[in-house]
Amino acid sequence: MVRLHNNALESLVADLKGEEDVVHREHGEAEAELSNVFRELASCGVIIGEAELEFQIDWTGYNKPRPFRFLNVWTTKLELLEVIRRAWGQEVSGSPLRILYSKLLAMRRAIQDWNKQCFGNVFDAVREAEATVQRAEEAADQNDSEEGQVELKNAQAELRYALSIEEQFWSQKTRVKWLRIEDRNSRYFHAVMRQRRVQGMIHRIKKSNGIWLDADADIASEVITYFSNLFSGPLDSASDMLHLIPPMISGEDNRLLEAVPSIEEVHQVVRSMDRDSAAGSDGFTGKFYTFAWEVIAQNVHNAVLSFFCGAELPLFITSTSIVLIPNA
């Protein structure tokens, strides 16, 4: 007899609710699938906590809009560049920084639509490819013809491609960089993802007065209050201590640092970005900027020039995300 404890149950539920970027699953469908999983577990002698097998999932917290995250696997489709080009070509007025932000926002919507309509569901593609291979194998067994063998090899090639796309997706989600894509580590990626989800769950926090908060609304309110106070407090000027800092660069070095960068220098910095690093607050990874550079180069350079010329940075450029990490 095996007992499935609450943390494993939460991980299982999270797996069915997660991955909104490529899995567009209705709540009823996911709940039905979870019910089937529980029934299979029960038939094998697995006890789900102390409750009966009948259950109801509270999906309230999962109806919130999820932040956009660019998936590097999208770049395997060359037509994505044309989607970016069309969205980027829209006329936008304003400062260079506002133009860049507005175009990124418009392109984000265009990519999301393209993902749903053209790129499709990564996991459905794998299931369909596996079914095609199975049908081709059965046909080849019944009729060992050259045409049947060709169809089987084509189906196997499509399956290998679908599996490769799935592994690239999981590799980015888990941010595992030391494995090669060809290693076929889908099971390992799943395990890493489950572990990250369980470890990342915050069930309660303690206030400065020692009181514990466990309701989601109370936790969110306390976090906002804490960081608002932290970042809005008065700053002490340290100008009277500047004489303690020794000069480390020459006048020539200083002139080079103050010089306005060329578009080639900006491109060099973009190429040096880690393509597989976590996305910034705009949702785009380093891979996106290298992939779309021929389209976005001039606007990115104009925004950099605007910064070097002393333009005030608007809120949508300086905004960031604060993520709570539970103590080990």
Q: Is 247 in a helix, a strand, or coil?
A: coil
Mean pLDDT calculated for residue range 117-136 = 84
Give which of 259, 274, 237, 272 is closest to 304, Cα–Cα: 259
Q: Is 46 in a helix, a strand, or coil?
A: strand
Q: Is 38 in a helix, a strand, or coil?
A: helix
Dump the DSSP string for 123-157: HHHHHHHHHHHHHHHHHHHH---HHHHHHHHHHHH
For 252-276, how does the pLDDT look when each residue is reduced to its tens digit (9 = 90+)? 888 888 888 999 999 999 999 887 7
Q: What does DSSP assign to residue 278?
A: P
Q: Is the pLDDT of residue 18 over 80?
A: no
Q: Residue 271 in contact with residue 258, Cβ under 8 Å?
A: no
pTM listed for this prediction: 0.59
Give the whole-angstrom CA distance, residue 289 versus residue 301.
Answer: 12
Q: Give the model's pLDDT for residue 304.
A: 94
Give the whole-angstrom CA distance, residue 169 versus residue 162.
Answer: 11
According to DSSP, the residues that pair with 48 across neighbouring strands are: 4
Q: Give the model's pLDDT for residue 296.
A: 95
* Cα first-last separation, the chain: 30
Q: Give the model's pLDDT for residue 20.
A: 41
Give the whole-angstrom CA distance, residue 136 versus residue 145.
Answer: 12
Q: Give the model's pLDDT for residue 289.
A: 93
Higher-pLDDT residue of 195, 124: 124
Q: Give the model's pLDDT for residue 301.
A: 96
Q: What is the mean pLDDT of the chain?
A: 75
